[in-house]
Structure 1
Amino acid sequence: MLSQRARYALRALIYMNGRGEPVSTAEIAREVPVPRKFLEQILLQLKAHRMVESRRGREGGYRLGRSGAEISFADVIRVVDGPLALAPCASRTAYRPCESCSDVETCPIRPALIKARDATAAILERTTLEDGDSKSFVQTSLTNPIV
């Protein structure tokens, strides 16, 4: 399940997309909206992964570390929440056998989890911050949901 932290991170980054100048945490917190202290923690995490840059001072704030077209939803979620997979045995980025599984090769659940991971990753990896900032993308997503 997508955490509230990841939702806030995505919304904050989408808000910053297309803005060349740094945006203050107060403005982002007000417009997204998100609790300011929580936002500051999220932005520091994103900064550590170079998704955002910060500038100090009166004209300071945060801006994207690279183009919104280069940052996928999957990138953000992996930074904030960790792997996209529902279980560690289905993860590509943080694989490990499940504690309760005696043999991953014969596990009856793992193939379905891998399919779910692949389908989720396919959508999230090709959806960028730029897409999220597009009114046509939002409208299409609402009227034609993927089932």
Structure 2
Amino acid sequence: MKLSQKTKYALRALQVLAREREPVRIATLAEREDIPRKFLEHILLELNNHGILSSRRGRGGGYQLRKQPEDVCLGDVVRLFDGPLAPTSCSSERAFRACDDCKDPDGCALRGVMREVRDATARILDNLSLADLNQRADAVARLTPGGR
């Protein structure tokens, strides 16, 4: 599985928003995280449309989490931008499609392995929240020279 740039930007933006109590303006977020502003606008709009963020216009406006950081699952964010977690179409639970060159998907040993990969990936990402991700980031920063 490879995360798209869009997903990486979304997760970085969400990490910042998870730490902030007040709305953050797009320009501030784009500059702080070095994310192209127009691209970030599309990402935040999609997160807003899926109930992860809320937005407020005007002075003091911007984007903020609609849910608590503990309630935003990384698996949901990855699926939102990158689709199913399955490494092959035949191993997907939600978007199954037999491989073009496979005569017997049910008897395919590789499909079984890819389902295990999918299940392990889902187990990890579905059990990690934004709060967990920020805790890990804090731990890494404490161990890194020049970190917090």
Bin of the TM-score, shorter chain as denominator length? 0.7 to 0.9
Report the Cα offset of residue 123 of structure 1: 0.9
Report the Cα offset of residue 17 of structure 1: 0.3
Number of aligned positions between the proteins: 142
SS of the residue 2:19 aligns to: coil
Q: Mark the runs of 5 or more structure 2 residues left unpaired by the alignment.
A: 144-148
Closer/same/farther in 2, CA of residues 136 and 54 from structure 1, 3 Å limit: closer
Structure 2 distance, partners of 1:63, 1:136, is 20
Report the Cα offset of residue 138 of structure 1: 4.7
Structure 1 distance, partners of 2:138, 2:98, is 37
Structure 1 distance, partners of 2:90, 2:136, is 37
Q: 1:8 aligns to what?
A: 9
Aligned residues of 1:132 and 1:138 also touching (Cα < 8 A): no
Matches within 5 A, 1:1-147: 1-135=2-136, 138-139=139-140
1:71-111 deviation line (CA, Å, top 9, x unaligned): 11111000011111111211122222223322210123101
2:11 is aligned with what amino acid? L
TM-score (norm 2): 0.87
TM-score (norm 1): 0.88
Larger deviation, residues 3-12 vs 129-138: 129-138
Structure 2 distance, partners of 1:69, 1:109, is 35
The share of aligned pairs that are identical, in percent, is 43
Q: Mark the runs of 5 or more structure 1 residues left unpaired by the alignment.
A: 143-147
Deviation >3 Å, runs of 4+: 135-138
SS of the residue 2:109 aligns to: coil
2:16 is aligned with what amino acid? Y
Computed over aligned residues only, the root mean square deviation of the Cα atoms, in angstroms, reads 2.0
Closer/same/farther in 2, CA of residues 81 and 138 from structure 1, 3 Å limit: farther
Aligned residues of 1:72 and 1:126 also touching (Cα < 8 A): yes
